[in-house]
Amino acid sequence: MTTTFRSKEISWLSFNERVLQEASRSEVPLIERLKFLGIYSNNLDEFFRVRVAILRRLAMVGQLTLAEGGNPREVMTQIEEIVIEQSGRFEEIYNQILEELASENIFIVNENQLTEEQGRFVTHYFKREVRPRIMPIILRKGSKLPLLSDDAIYLAVDMEKNKKSEYALIEVPTDSLTRFVKIPSTDNKTYIILLEDVIRYELDDTFYMFSYHKISSYIFKLTRDAELDLDDDVAESYVKLVAKSIVKRGNSALVRFVHEKEIPENLLSFLLYKLNFKKDDVVIGGSRIHNFKDFMGFPKVGAEHLYYKPVSPVRHQKIIHGQTYLKSISKSDILFHFPYHSFFHFIDLLREVSMDPKVTEIRMTGYRMARNSHVINSLINAARNGKKVTVVLELRARFNEQDNIEYGNMLGKENVRVILGVPGLKVHSKLCLITRKDKKETEKYALVGTGNFNEVTSKVFSDQLLCTADPDITREVSRVFDFFDRNYRISRFQHLLVSPFTMRKKIVAMIKQEIANAKAGMEARIYLKCNNMVDVEIITKIEEAARCGVDVRLSVRGMFSMFTTSADGKVEIPAIGMIDRYLEHSRLFYFYNGGEEKVYISSSDFMTRNLDRRVEVAVPIYDPEIKAELINFFNLQWQDNTAARILDNDLKNVIKNQEETPKIKSQLLFYDYLRDRNSR
C-alpha cells in the first residue's frame, strides 16, 4: 500500500491540534474550552521535553534517518513551523474566549485595565502575599545566570535610563500562590488578574531603589530535555540512578525558549546569550501569557452552563450490596469502565481484601499513582493486617519518578516488599493479583487493566479493568509477577499477550490469520483502539490486511504514522481519533477469527518500545457478555459524529460524518448504555 511512514512527532502535533480544536468549538462549555487550552499547552510542554529533546540529541550525534523515515533536523524544522502556526490559532481562540467570557460578566484583566479601587486591592495583595515570595535577581554581563526551571514562568525586567538598560529577573511564584487572583467586585461581575500582572502592577514598588526613566517587563519560559539517561548497570541501585537523573533534569539541555513577542531585541539577545541558545534552537515569540497549563485549574466562576454537566458514576450491576467483591468476581468476570464506573469500586475492593482474614497475599504493579494515594493506603493497611504485600514500582515513569521513590520508601517502612522495576525494561503493565485461602483451597483473583491505579486521573481518563477468577488468567498473571521476582525466569503464556515475550508475535499471527481468511473468501475483521500506532511491522501487516480485503477499523488517539490512503487511491483504511470530555486511554484489540471472535484489552500501544522494551499485558476476554459489551463500546465510538476526527493522509482532522443526524456523542451514549443496564 505504501512504503513510507509519517513522522510520529508530526502525527502527535496533529493529535494536539485536535485538542486545540476542542477549545474553539462552541458546543463545548466555555470554561471547559479554556481548560482545553491548558491541556494543549501542557501537552506541548511535555512534547518538547521528550520528543523534541530526543530529536535534538539524535541530530547532535549525527543520526541521519529515523525509524519511520526522515531526518531529525528536517523533522525539527517541520515541528517549529507547525507549532508557530498553531500558536497563532491558539491566540485567536483565547481572544475569542475572552470575548465570550465578557458576555458572561467574567473578565480576565491585566495591570493596565484596573480601576482605582481594584488597584488598591492589588497593591494590598502584592504587599501581603506576593512581595515576600519574590526575590528579584539583577542581571549583569559578567554575572552567571541562575539555574532556571522549566516548570516556571519568569518576568524579564528592563529598567531603561539614557538609552541604556539594566536587567532583572523575577520568578513568578506559582508554586506557592494561585495564578488566578480574584478581585472583589460590587457590580455582580467577576474580575480575575493573573499573578504575573499583579507583579507588573507593582514593578515601581519592587525596584524603587533603582534610578530609571522607564521600567517594563516581559514574560518568558523555557523547556528542558527531560529524557532519563539510565543504563542497565545494576551495580548501582535504581533509586540512586533515578534520583541522579531527576537532579540532572533540572540542569539539562534547553530545547525551547518561548517569550512575549514585544520583548526588546537587546533584552532577548541578552537572555539567549546567557542561556547558551544556538541558532537552530527553538525560539518562539507569542502572547503575554505563557505556562497556559495553569488554566487547567482555572477557578470555578460563573453559571453552571459554562461547565460540563456533572455526571455521577454508575455503580456496576454485578456489585451487590452486602456481597463481597471477591464473591461477585468468583461468580463471573467483571469489567469496570472508568470513569463511567466509579474508581472507588477498586479502592473498596482493596479495602475489603486488606481486612479479609482469608486473604494471604496481594501483588500489584504501580506506574503513576495519585498524590496521597488511597491505593497505597489500602496496601499499607493490608500489610498491617498481616498480608504478604508486594508492589512493583516503576521508577522510570516519566515525571512521576520522585513520587514513586517516596512511595517505595513509605511502603518499605510498612513491611511491604517493593520491587523497583526490571533492569532494561520499563514495567508499564497494570496488574493486581489477590490470593485467598479458604480451608484447603487456594483461590486467586486477577485484575488486569488499561490504565493506572490512580483515583485522580481515573475521573478523566477512559480506561477498563477486568476482574476475573479464571484460573487460566490468574495462573499467567502469577507468572508475570514471578518474572518480576526472578528476571531470568520467563514462562510460557497461552492466554495473556505479554511483551516483550509474546505480544508482537501473537498480534502479527492474528493479523495473518485474518489475511488468510479474507483470501479464502471468509469474513475477516480487525478493529484496533489504542493511543499510538507507530510500529513499522504492525502498520505494514495492517496495510497488507486492508489490501487483502480485511475490514480494518482503527481508533487512534495520538501518534499515528500510517498513511491511510494508498498512492493509487484504491485502498483506504478508515481511521478516527477521538477527543472529547474524557481522554480516551483504553486499548482494545478485536479479531473476527472466522466467527470465534477474539477480544483483548491491554496496557500496550502499537509502539516499538511497548512491544519490545516494556513489560505490557493484554488480557483475553472470555466472558461472552463482556465481549459483546466491548464490541458495542468500539462500535458506538465508531459511529460518533461529534468528536471522532477522520485520520487521513493530510491530517485535516475533519469530524467524521458531522453533517449527519441524529448527533451521536458516543461517550454520553455509552454512559447511558451502562446506566440502563444497571437499572434492569
CA distance 58 to 349: 46
Q: Of 172, 177, 150, which is closest to residue 46 (Cα–Cα)?
A: 150
Say if CB 431 and CB 617 are below 8 A apart.
Answer: yes
List the Cα angle 605/13/601 in 5-degree steps: 15
User: Cell 507583579 belongs to which residue?
Assistant: 199
Mean pLDDT of the chain: 91
Tell me whether residue 491 is exposed, middle or buried, using C-beta atoms within 10 angstroms of its C-beta: 0 to 12, 13 to 18, 19 or more. Answer: middle
Of 437, 456, 485, which marks where a domain is finished?
485
Cis amide leading into 72 (omega within 30): no
Of 306, 337, 367, which marks where a domain is finished?
306
Kindly report which listed range (184-188, 591-595, 622-626) carries the lowest average pLDDT score. 184-188
CA distance 128 to 267: 30
State yes or no: pLDDT of 249 exceeds 50: no
Q: What's the N-to-C CA distance of the chain in angstroms? A: 48
- Concatenating the DSSP letter of every residue in 127-161 gives IIIIGGG---EEE-TTSPPPPPPTTS-EEEEEEEE
Domain annotation covers residue 316? no
Domain of 538 in residue numbering reads as 497-679
Q: Tens digit of pLDDT for each residue in 351-382?
A: 999 999 999 999 999 989 998 999 999 999 99
Do 149 and 224 sit in the same domain of this protein?
A: yes
What is the tally of helices (H) and strands (E) in the chain? Answer: 19, 26
According to the model, what pLDDT value does residue 283 have?
A: 86
CA distance 45 to 39: 10
CA distance 39 to 37: 5
Contacts 24+ apart (CB under 8 A), 130-133: 130/173, 130/177, 130/195, 130/198, 130/199, 130/202, 131/202, 131/205, 131/206, 133/173, 133/176, 133/177
Give the residue-averaged pLDDT of 10-20: 96
Do 330 and 183 sit in the same domain of this protein?
A: no
Domain annotation covers residue 451? yes
What is the DSSP-derived secondary structure letter of residue 263?
S
Do 605 and 550 sit in the same domain of this protein?
A: yes
Do 538 and 467 sit in the same domain of this protein?
A: no
CA distance 299 to 318: 38
CA distance 186 to 117: 11
According to the model, what pLDDT value does residue 233 have?
A: 30
Say if CB 533 and CB 554 are below 8 A apart.
Answer: yes
Q: CA 222 from chain center: how many Å?
A: 20
Domain annotation covers residue 242? yes
Domain annotation covers residue 1? no
Q: CA 649 from chain center: how many Å?
A: 25
For residue 383, the domain's CATH number is: 3.30.870.10
Do 183 and 143 sit in the same domain of this protein?
A: yes
Give the residue-averaged pLDDT of 284-294: 88
Domain annotation covers residue 365? yes
Q: Tens digit of pLDDT for each residue in 509-565?
A: 999 999 999 999 999 999 999 999 999 999 999 999 999 999 999 999 999 999 999
Do 221 and 300 sit in the same domain of this protein?
A: yes
State yes or no: pLDDT of 467 exceeds 80: yes
Do 408 and 523 sit in the same domain of this protein?
A: no
According to the model, what pLDDT value does residue 574 have?
A: 97
Do 463 and 566 sit in the same domain of this protein?
A: no
Do 515 and 535 sit in the same domain of this protein?
A: yes
Q: How far is CA 4 from CA 10, 70, 139, 546, 649, in A?
A: 14, 10, 50, 16, 12
Specify the number of domains making up the chain.
3
Domain annotation covers residue 621? yes
CA distance 179 to 152: 11
Do 391 and 503 sit in the same domain of this protein?
A: no
Cis amide leading into 29 (omega within 30): no
Do 109 and 241 sit in the same domain of this protein?
A: yes
- Concatenating the DSSP letter of every residue in 572-629 gives B--EEEE-SSSEE--EEEEE-GGGS-EEEEES--BSHHHHHSEEEEEEE---HHHHHH
Contacts 24+ apart (CB under 8 A), 62-69: 66/7, 67/536, 67/608, 68/5, 68/6, 68/7, 68/8, 68/534, 68/536, 68/561, 69/4, 69/5, 69/7
Of 277, 306, 335, which marks where a domain is finished?
306
Do 283 and 345 sit in the same domain of this protein?
A: no
Q: Which one has a higher pLDDT value, 402 or 679?
A: 402
Which residues are known catalytic residues? 428
Q: Tens digit of pLDDT for each residue in 209-242?
A: 998 999 999 999 998 887 544 333 333 344 444 4
Q: How far is CA 199 from CA 154, 175, 193, 288, 679, in A?
A: 11, 15, 10, 14, 55
- Amino acid (one-letter) located at 258: V
What is the DSSP-derived secondary structure letter of residue 321?
T
Domain annotation covers residue 2? no
User: Cell 520522585 belongs to which residue?
Assistant: 402
- Concatenating the DSSP letter of every residue in 10-47 gives HHHHHHHHHHHHHHH-TTS-HHHHHHHHHHHHHHHHHH
Handedness of CA 375, 444, 425, 497 (dihedral sign): negative
Kindly report which listed range (6-20, 224-238, 649-663) carries the lowest average pLDDT score. 224-238
Lookup: cell for 217:
517587563
The DSSP bridge pattern shows strands 614-620 and 644-646 to be unpaired
Q: Of 180, 97, 168, which is closest to residue 136 (Cα–Cα)?
A: 168
Q: Which one has a higher pLDDT value, 134 or 245?
A: 134
Q: CA 213 from chain center: how many Å?
A: 47
CA distance 201 to 131: 12
Give the residue-averaged pLDDT of 122-143: 93
Domain annotation covers residue 92? yes
- Percent of the chain at pLDDT exceeding 70: 93
Confidence of residue 395 (pLDDT cuts 50, 70, 90): confident
Give the residue-averaged pLDDT of 599-623: 96
For residue 218, the domain's CATH number is: 3.30.1840.10
